[in-house]
Amino acid sequence: MSPYALTVDAGTGDLRAADHLLRTLADGFDLPEDTFGCTHLVRGNRPRVVVSLTLPSRPLLDTVRERLAHGYGTVAPGLPDAVGRAVLYPGAAALTGTTTVAELLARSAIDRVTVLGTPEPPDPATRMVTRDHVRPQWQRDELVLAATPALGGTLVPFEAPDPTPCCADH
């Protein structure tokens, strides 16, 4: 990972809002394709979701930091932890529809795919139904996508794009 990273604490309360903030920053600041934008859960007295941006150069980092100082919350240097959930990463925009595991790995910064409940990696030819929502997570300096088996021998990313809130039927 690049040393050009910063964390933004906008007081965001959930992942969906943090994803939206990252997409707003990417579009509004015209961030390059090789930017990593991640969400991080902060626990403690004030649980929230912060976002981080890892940028390809010091000048871009300085420009983004200056622009963030105008109404985006508290900005701090560095990453809040090493296990961010990636929303922005090289190749993310190409991960739509159905693809194979091999194509997913070749087209993006994702290093590997794991399947919940299985010790072995999936066959590279296995079809992945992305649901246009692929959120890998950093694990030991690798970007790893957790997947689950789905109908027809396919896989889907573990994180659903529109999860049912806990206790929605109560």
pLDDT in tens, 75-134: 999 999 999 999 999 999 999 999 999 999 999 999 999 999 999 999 999 999 999 999
Decide if pLDDT at 149 tops 90: yes
pLDDT at 166: 56
pLDDT at 125: 98
Mean pLDDT of all residues in 137-156? 96
Tokens of 17: 């809002």
pLDDT at 163: 62
Decide if pLDDT at 50 tops 60: yes
Q: Which residue has the higher pLDDT, 103 or 3?
A: 103
Residues belonging to the chain: 170
Decide if pLDDT at 17 tops 90: yes
Mean pLDDT of all residues in 11-18? 93
E strands of the chain, at which residues? 5-12, 36-42, 48-54, 74-77, 85-88, 98-100, 112-115, 127-129, 137-139, 142-149, 155-157
Decide if pLDDT at 170 tops 90: no
pLDDT at 86: 98
When the pLDDT of each residue in the chain is averaged and rounded to a whole number, the result is 93
Work out the percent of the chain whose per-residue pLDDT is above 90.
Answer: 86
**What confidence tier does 14 reach under pLDDT thresholds 50, 70, 90?**
very high
